[in-house]
Amino acid sequence: MNTPSDTGLQAKLAEHAYRIRRFALQMGEVQGQGYVGQALGYADVLAVAYCHAMSFRPDDPEWQGRDRFLLSHGHYAIAFYAALIEAGIIPEDELESYGSDDSRLPMSGMATYTPGMEISGGSLGQGLPIAVGMALGLRLKGNPAFVYNSMSDGELDEGSTWEAAMGAAHHGLGNLICLVDINNQQADGPSSKVMGFEPLADKWASFGWHVQRVDGNDLPAVIAAFDTARQLAEAKPRVILFDTLMGKGVPFLEAREKNHFIRVDPPEWQQALDILDQAQGAAR
């Protein structure tokens, strides 16, 4: 049974997730296309990460005590920018510059451009190796910050991911939390058909990780998973496997057979925004 405080937290984070989805759609409308399906599906995870779990200072993105969030799947940049806007790290008025020349919000994430962007992701399978080195470095410095590596299920196809997973367990990196978005979509088709990765939880566990698998669009489950990962006493890396729905919150986008990269007709952007607004208004 939820306590009043639990219910209040869930309502607050649902509002943050709604705004992240809305920001992503607004940026998508600027270009008329983008990785919007992933942004809608991953919004609940990002809301819990940036508005509940992580330690950071919005006005000081380079603060040494901050938790590091690595966007290994750089094509999720539109989702990540929406979270940075909601977190107060980037001003909302910058979303109109998304993907434009001289913007701090390029269509694929680049650390040299964007405050709060720790790495230039996009070459899939690179984020977790970097995260292992970063977590080791922080531990050697006595810095208690966590390193979050956010990655796509497509990155499970990469050998570098599993080499890093083995290294993280060997070094007992209790300050490393890996977040895997399992939406079963890649550019070449369903992830499970491109390269089968099940039984996924068992594989991570066999590599020495603490494993949780939850519905990534179930806010209470996402909150509990983050809290468990942070509070675990064992000196071992932690992974949270999130099963998410591409296009979550906008039924006509959820139903698209191919929504890895979405092109949306001009009237549909406002239609999608209206659907989100109506659903959130009814939930308040």
- CATH number, domain with residue 180: 3.40.50.970
Q: Tell me phi and psi for residue 152, to 5 degrees.
A: -95, 165
Question: 260 pLDDT band (50/70/90 cuts)?
Answer: low
112-125 burial code (b ≥16 CB/10 A, e <16): eebebbbbbbbebb
Q: What are the tens digits of pLDDT across the range 44-98?
A: 999 999 999 999 999 999 999 999 999 999 889 999 999 999 999 999 999 999 9
Q: Above 50 in pLDDT, residue 144?
A: yes
Sign of the dihedral defined by the CA atoms of residues 61, 62, 66, 72, in that order: positive
Q: What pTM value is reported for the model?
A: 0.94
Q: Residue 175 contacts by C-beta under 8 Å, 6 or more apart in sequence?
A: 135, 138, 139, 144, 145, 146, 147
Q: What are the tens digits of pLDDT across the range 86-135?
A: 999 999 999 999 988 889 998 888 898 999 999 998 888 899 999 999 99
Q: Above 90 in pLDDT, residue 4?
A: no
Q: Above 60 in pLDDT, residue 3?
A: no
Answer with the residue of higher pLDDT: 184 or 141. Answer: 141
The pLDDT, as a whole number, for residue 169 is 98
Domains: count for the chain: 1
The pLDDT, as a whole number, for residue 195 is 86
Question: 194 pLDDT band (50/70/90 cuts)?
Answer: confident
Answer with the residue of higher pLDDT: 125 or 136. Answer: 136
Structural domain that includes position 34: 4-283
d(Cα 225, Cα 243) in Å, to the nearest integer?
A: 13
The pLDDT, as a whole number, for residue 261 is 66
Answer with the residue of higher pLDDT: 179 or 184. Answer: 179
What tokens does 1 get? 């049974």
Q: Above 50 in pLDDT, residue 2?
A: no
Q: What are the tens digits of pLDDT across the range 208-256?
A: 999 999 999 999 999 999 999 999 999 999 999 999 999 999 998 888 7
Q: Above 70 in pLDDT, residue 160?
A: yes
The pLDDT, as a whole number, for residue 213 is 98
Question: Which of 7-11, 27-31, 208-212 has the least mean pLDDT?
Answer: 27-31
The pLDDT, as a whole number, for residue 193 is 80
Question: 5 pLDDT band (50/70/90 cuts)?
Answer: low
Q: Residue 27 contacts by C-beta under 8 Å, 6 or more apart in sequence?
A: 34, 78, 81, 82, 95, 98, 99, 105
Average pLDDT of the chain, as a whole number: 92
Mean pLDDT along residues 159-165: 97
d(Cα 148, Cα 116) in Å, to the nearest integer?
A: 13
